[in-house]
Structure 1
């Protein structure tokens, strides 16, 4: 099986640009909230909750961005689509769902069972 690397590279680059925009916007929102002079306890609690939720989203998006950057590096190195655990090709269907996948489905299940 031969996968179309350029197709996946394009998908990864589009998602990377999307995430960078999201991260920029969230970062600005968090900064705006931290600059507010909130005197009401209820407003402060709501702003803190929003800020905490935004920060968690920020961390999740940042993690996905790092995984995408790693996948793009693997494309440049010629190792994209190869499982990092068993060195077998990652199924194209898996890459369609998660184009930055490092592991084939079997190895991913092993990792999840071992709690890594």
Structure 2
């Protein structure tokens, strides 16, 4: 992969990383603002549902951050864009769609199939 392409992927990854961190920070600020307010029972139920959803999103964000950090490390180590399963290059189209992809499309399908079984 050319250096210019790597720099573009690095830029996209850093932007995605910052967007997730900003979103998580806003969520934390929102939660801090809610603390100390008094709620009725319906509000508590609604907040519980929102917290459950937010927790799931936060977990997904953390996983995505790990993948992004891993991809950034791979760029620095000159191993970016190589499938972790078959060691073949990951298609640039796939990396454009998901710049933190760990697997080529064929291996990703295998991983997904195995996780369902």
| TM-score, normalised by the number of residues in structure 2 | 0.88
Does the aligned pair in 2 maintain the 1:30–1:54 contact within 8 Å? no
Separation in 1 of the partners of 2:83 and 2:44?
47
1:60 positional shift: 1.2
1:39 positional shift: 4.3
Separation in 1 of the partners of 2:99 and 2:88?
16
Separation in 2 of the partners of 1:25 and 1:37?
18
Separation in 2 of the partners of 1:43 and 1:114?
41
Query: Equivalent residue for 2:94?
Result: 94
Q: Structure 1, residues 33-56: CA drift from partner, whole Å, max 9, x if none?
A: 3x2343411111112222222222
The alignment's C-alpha RMSD in Å is 1.6
Query: Equivalent residue for 1:84?
Result: 84
| TM-score, normalised by the number of residues in structure 1 | 0.89
Residue correspondences, number: 114
Residue segments in structure 2 that go unaligned for 5+ positions in a row? none
